[in-house]
Chain A
Amino acid sequence: MDRNLHGRIPTRIHLILYKTMSHSAVANHDHGNEHSKFEIFVQLAMLLAVITGVEIITVYLPFSHTTLVTVLMVLSAVKFLFVIFIFMHLRWDKAFCTILFFIGMVLAGFTMWALLQVFSVSNSIPLSSL
């Protein structure tokens, strides 16, 4: 252990280091990670492009309708969640932002589901389509 470390570092730089560290504790990401943020973004973009490619290929695969729809939904959901948690920074922000957005997202999803259910039943098929 170098007992003389603090004695040897000029005071100004010591204070800057201290400030940087305490800010990182508050900011929830430290400045040493700045480079990897860039990398995370680029890697994510490439991943999203790959998933999109997979989606396009999927529609030509000879599986059942239900299977294909499920696969597409899952892949889209994965892309969706990656973008909101990483590009839109929800992973590193306060949880309330996530809750706020999920309220709208879940409600929209539920409303869409309910509407599709109501319009799918036999009573709702328009006469012109029968």
Chain B
Amino acid sequence: MADAITKSGFTAHDEKITARSSLFYRPQAKTGLMSWLTTVDHKRIGFLYGVFALFFFLVGGVEALLIRIQLAVPNNNFLSAQQYNEMFTMHATTMIFLAIMPLSAAFFNFIMPLQIGARDVAFPRLNAFSLWVFVAGAIILNIGWFMHDGAPNGGWFGYTPLTTRTFSPNHAIDMWVMGLQLLGVASIAASLNFITTIINMRAPGLTMMRLPVFTWMTLITAFLIVLSFPAITIALIELMMDRSFSTNFFEVSNGGMPILWTHLFWVFGHPEVYILILPAMGIISEILPTFSRKPLFGYPIVVFSGACIGFLGFGVWSHHMFTTGMGTVATAAFAMTTMAIAVPTGVKIFNWVGTIWGGHISMRTPMMFALGFIWLFMIGGLSGVMHSAAPADAQQHNSYFVVAHFHYVLIGGSLFALLAGIHYWFPLMFGRKVSEFWGKLSFWVIFIGFNTTFFPMHFLGLNGMPRRTFTYDPNMGWSNSNFIATIGAFILGVGVTIYFVVMVYTYFKGEKVKNDPWDGRTLEWSLPNPVPEYNYAVIPVVHARDAFWYQKQHKAEIEAEKAKAAKEEESHGGIHMPFQSLYPFIASLGLLIGGIGVSTMDSNPDPKVIVGKKLTVCFIGLAIFLYGVYCWALEGNEGYHIHLDNHGDDHKH
């Protein structure tokens, strides 16, 4: 395994670099554990996000299968009610925050800098910090499984007053709150980094309207994250204060209003679902043109629609609250904004269809997942716009109709696109291609399993089956559909297993390919695979949208430009690379320890003890965090230089 990693090329050989003498030692390992803990390379960070995301995707999948086993037959006692609550809470929280979002982040990290012709993101150490804080948050969310208090069990949306101290007295909810806060920090830091990178580090000639659509969606998603996460940060702070310091934010007896939590949560929660889908839409917008051998239809409209969806997404949150009695005006207003947001979404679908229309279609595995996306996301969108009619929603709310809707957009939409992206960019990242037969087989099993599981849920919902209930009566008429759904879930599980096994196999032993196996259109395909540490030997000059396609049509012009730019870069001292650093990891470790102290430990009830165990652990965590941050600030942001000789080999100094 270690062998494969050393050979796979984006880990270079261990070379001694003579760093300038500075107050702080800069780690130089290029292989081994330390090289991963100290990496600031966006490609490695993207890889790590991907590995963690795929791991938690499996965890979330197991949680889902346990739910489906419990619901396979009526009056089942496979899981207790309490265990069931933990399952649906953790399944949702894991899939949203620990699987889909980090898998999107994996692509943002690996692909986006390559698409804009950059050598890394604007703040490489901040990037590493985001990754490790994400891991810290993931740990805190899941640590409850191993503790007496159990995993979080208040639903992924944590409605008060259920999650207040009165009704959830143990630490399960504290861990949920703390885990999400850390994930929020990670997401916001990463998004600030991506915004700066995309706006400020584009290659010469790469105007905003020449950006690949995936990069545009990365930018819009980053804006959504930095503007929506503060709402849940505040909501979580208020909940934590209620739970820890007896404040009254959601305490009815002292003037609090639990509905405020619901509002603040969904002010975040609705943009969050666009955060989950926009990157996927970006990936699809790259794959369809490549495999139809046509440029994206209506590029400006696709970009503009993405921006509209992002913007309008902040104005629809109360459509999750139609049944809370907000009054006619508020309900009507949110119903209208929700219907409005269906328009740009639909426009995108038309543009994707327009892209395929008349193209020379190549039915490879990524294309199959992409076509599946269009169809399944559209179904999910249709059930979504059905919710926008508030009277109809009065019946659909909290029923399995909603479950069907969001699984169609999240699995049929986000997941299919991400699975497509893995297949599509696998050759670029690892120099190998997944076999067509196994790839397509995994697609079909997943497709069949998914639809078998979730299509019946539309009917279950319309027939009144409520969400989040651990069992149901055999007289309700829901038994057959539930049983079919469970069978479907296991088929889906088999499909996912095939996909994973094939992916791991391909990583080690798959068919090796030269660069640009799909005849791609965007800049990342111009790089050799595996991608060198410094990405571009020479920063490209961009002349048009689909920059690499232009390069392929104008080879001579590009060669001349390249030679000229290479001379200029050499005269400036060569390729500048940042030094690695351990301090982002250390700072995250401090947050992890502090977070564990805050969320899992009891305060010492003895009033004579001023600093008990809990406060001690918190202070240790804070101290480690501050140490990490100060050293990070003081170690400076120097780097080393790489000089490429005529053969493209590198010499570091």
Contacts and interface: CB of A to CB of B under 8 A. Distances in A.
B257 interface: yes
Contacts of B199: 96
A124 B327 contact: yes
Given A111-B314, A118-B318, A121-B327, A104 B227 contact: yes
B255 A121 contact: no
Which interface residue of A110, A117, A118 has the most chain B CB atoms within 10 A?
A118
Nearest to B256: A126
B12 interface: no
B273 to A, nearest CB: 17
B227 A123 contact: no
Chain B interface size, under 10 / 10 to 19 / 20 to 34 / 35 or more: 10 to 19
30 contacts: A96-B199, A103-B223, A103-B227, A104-B226, A104-B227, A107-B227, A107-B314, A110-B315, A111-B231, A111-B267, A111-B314, A114-B315, A117-B330, A118-B263, A118-B318, A118-B326, A118-B330, A121-B326, A121-B327, A121-B329, A121-B330, A122-B327, A123-B325, A123-B327, A123-B330, A124-B259, A124-B326, A124-B327, A126-B257, A128-B252
A117 B315 CA distance: 13
B330 to A, nearest CB: 5
Closest 5 pairs (CB-CB, A-B): A123-B327, A121-B327, A118-B330, A123-B325, A107-B227
Contact of B314 (A110, A117, A118): A110
B208 to A, nearest CB: 11
Contacts of B329: 121
A126 B258 CA distance: 11
Interface in B310-352: 314-315, 318, 325-327, 329-330
A115 interface: yes
Contacts of A121: 326-327, 329-330
**Most A CB within 10 A of own CB, among B223, B255, B325, B330:** B330
B257 to A, nearest CB: 6
B255 A128 contact: yes
A99 to B, nearest CB: 11
Nearest to A96: B199
Chain B, interface SS category: helix
Interface of A: 96, 103-104, 107, 110-111, 114-115, 117-118, 121-124, 126, 128
Contacts of A122: 327
Interface in B201-250: 223, 226-227, 231
A114 B252 CA distance: 23
Contacts of A96: 199
Contacts of A118: 263, 318, 326, 330
B571 to A, nearest CB: 22
A126 B199 CA distance: 46
Contacts of B259: 124
A111 B264 CA distance: 10
Interface string B371-409: 000000000000000000000000000000000000000
A123 B252 CA distance: 17
Name, among A110, A123, A128, the residue most crowded by chain B CB atoms within 10 Å (CB to CB): A123
A80 to B, nearest CB: 19
Nearest to B227: A107
Contacts of B318: 118
Contact of A123 (B226, B263, B326): B326
Nearest to B259: A124
A68 to B, nearest CB: 26
Nearest to A111: B267
A90 to B, nearest CB: 16
Nearest to A115: B263
B149 to A, nearest CB: 32
A118 B331 CA distance: 9
A91 to B, nearest CB: 20
B502 to A, nearest CB: 43
A80 B267 CA distance: 25
Contacts of B257: 126
A96 to B, nearest CB: 7
A127 to B, nearest CB: 9
A128 B325 CA distance: 17
A103 B310 CA distance: 12
Contacts of B326: 118, 121, 123-124
A103 B226 CA distance: 11
B112 to A, nearest CB: 19
A115 B263 CA distance: 8
A83 B308 CA distance: 31
B193 to A, nearest CB: 15
Nearest to A122: B327
Given A110-B314, A128-B255, 9 more contacts: A103-B223, A103-B227, A104-B226, A110-B315, A111-B267, A121-B329, A124-B259, A124-B327, A128-B252
B394 to A, nearest CB: 15
Contacts of A111: 231, 267, 314
A103 B314 CA distance: 12
A56 B318 CA distance: 37
A121 B257 CA distance: 15
A111 to B, nearest CB: 6
Contacts of A117: 330
Contacts of B325: 123
A110 B231 CA distance: 13
A126 B314 contact: no
Interface centre among A111, A121, A122 (most CB of B within 10 A): A111
A35 B326 CA distance: 57
A103 B263 CA distance: 21
Contacts of A126: 255, 257
A121 B255 CA distance: 17
B38 to A, nearest CB: 32
A16 B226 CA distance: 44
A126 B252 CA distance: 9
A102 to B, nearest CB: 12
A100 to B, nearest CB: 8
A103 B220 CA distance: 12
A122 B326 CA distance: 9
Nearest to B327: A123
A104 B191 CA distance: 14
A118 B237 CA distance: 22
Contacts of A128: 252, 255
A104 B329 CA distance: 26
A126 B251 CA distance: 12
Contacts of A115: 263, 267
Nearest to A126: B257
A126 B259 CA distance: 10
A114 B333 CA distance: 10
Contacts of B263: 115, 118
Interface string B295-315: 000000000000000000011
Contacts of B226: 104
Nearest to A129: B255
